Every structure is written in C-alpha cells, then in structure tokens.
Amino acid sequence: MKIKTNRQNGFTLIEMILAVGVAAIVLITINAVLFTALRLRGATEDVVDATAPLDQTLTFLRRDLQCVVTPTNGTSKFLSGSFKLGNVNSPGVSGDVGIEMYTATGALSSSMPWGDIQRVTYELKTGTAGGAGQDLYRTVTRNLLAATTPQVDDQFLMGGVASIKFSGYDGASWNPTWDTSSATAVNTNLPLAIKVEIQMSGINNATADPVTLVVPIDSVARTNMVLTTTGT
C-alpha cells in the first residue's frame, strides 16, 4: 500500500545561488554594453560637432565662388566690382582679409530692396573664445549703391583656424595674389579655378595637411572694350 505525502516542489539553495549568479552576469554584460554605446555616442557627437562648422564653411565658400560675378568696366562696375586675392584692403572690413569678390548669392525678399549681387569677403580675426587659433568670418555687403558707407554684416563661421590661403589658377600656375582692379594687373579676368587651403590650429593639426577646396570658375572673359549705346 502506497502512502501519500504532502510534499511541495521548490528550489534548492544551490539552484537559487546559481540563478542569482547568472542574473548578475547578465546585468553586468548589459551594463557594459550600455555604457560602451553611450561613450561611442558621445565620441560621435564630438566628431560631428567638430566637423559641422568646417562643412558649413566649405559649403559657403563653394557657393560664393561658383556664383562669382565677372568683373566689368564702365558704369556697371559698382554691381560687378573687382576680384581680389591675397592681402586685401576691403572697405569697412577689418581683420586679415584673404579674398574679396562680388557674387550672386544674396537672398531676395520683400524686406530687402536690393538685388542678389553682394560683396563678400573672408577674413581671419583674433579669436574671442579664448581658444587656439583665429576666427574665420564671412562679411557681406548688400547695398552696393549706397550713397554713404554701406552696412557690412559679419557672419561667424568657425574658430580654431591657424591660416587660410586663397590661390587663383591662370592656366599655368597658382597665384597667391589676384586683383582685377589694379592698373598694372596682368590678369584682368577671373581665374580659371580658385583653391582654398584651411589649416586648423592645435597640436594634432600642426603637422596635418590643410583642408583643400578647389572650385572651377566658369565665366565670360572681359575685354578692354567699353560698351556704349547710341540713340536711334
């Protein structure tokens, strides 16, 4: 005759210890993966934040250079003035100006009573954030026919720049200076291409190659003929 007992099934102490140990290992692994992902995310954000100003600067430079206006003579020179590279002395602009151009990148709106042609310069100024290097600015003059000194708007692009160099290609070599307004200028037209070299500051960037941008210029060459009109 079998005797029935009121025995209940349960976990032994060894099983409980093993379960707690496995759970602890799983939690440690999840914690390590989570914090690794957070560190990777932080490093990625730092890289993106560091490269975003440079990418924006290159976008501005490429757009301005692609839309540069061919210099002309006669009465229209105020709306398509000279093109200058090198140590430029631009009216109303301070700092180390590397380029001055007239470009058709101005935004048109009902609140701005002037056209899309604007005078744009790029220059380096002493850094204000206290970090290494200088600040790169893009200055814009919209009202080119102003009777008085026109307003010049400074646009901060990025900091930490050691140097910025502009060169114009004449078909044979790259020239660090270019001035279509000079009476003794050899090149009175726009370059065939413009090269921009940006050297960032800092220990890691001191020996690195500069960031280089080359923009081909598609423009109509200027002649010495002054356009005139005769009445009929």
pLDDT number for residue 116? 83
Domain count of the fold of the chain: 2
Position 3 in a domain: no
Across the range 22-39, mean pLDDT stands at: 88
pLDDT digit string (tens) for 132-156?
788 999 999 888 777 777 788 889 9
Position 2 in a domain: no
pLDDT number for residue 75? 44
- If asked whether residues 76 and 143 sit together in one domain, one would say yes
Position 1 in a domain: no
Q: Burial code of 109-138, b = ≥16 C-beta within 10 A, e = fewer? A: eeeeeeeebbbbbbbbbebeeeeebbbbbb
pLDDT digit string (tens) for 175-229?
999 988 766 666 778 899 999 999 988 766 667 889 999 999 987 665 555 555 5
Residue 37's domain comprises 12-41
- If asked whether residues 83 and 181 sit together in one domain, one would say yes
- If asked whether residues 35 and 96 sit together in one domain, one would say no
Q: Mean pLDDT across the chain, nearest whole number? A: 80
Position 226 in a domain: no
**Is the pTM higher than 0.85?**
no
Residue 194, both tokens: 């413009």
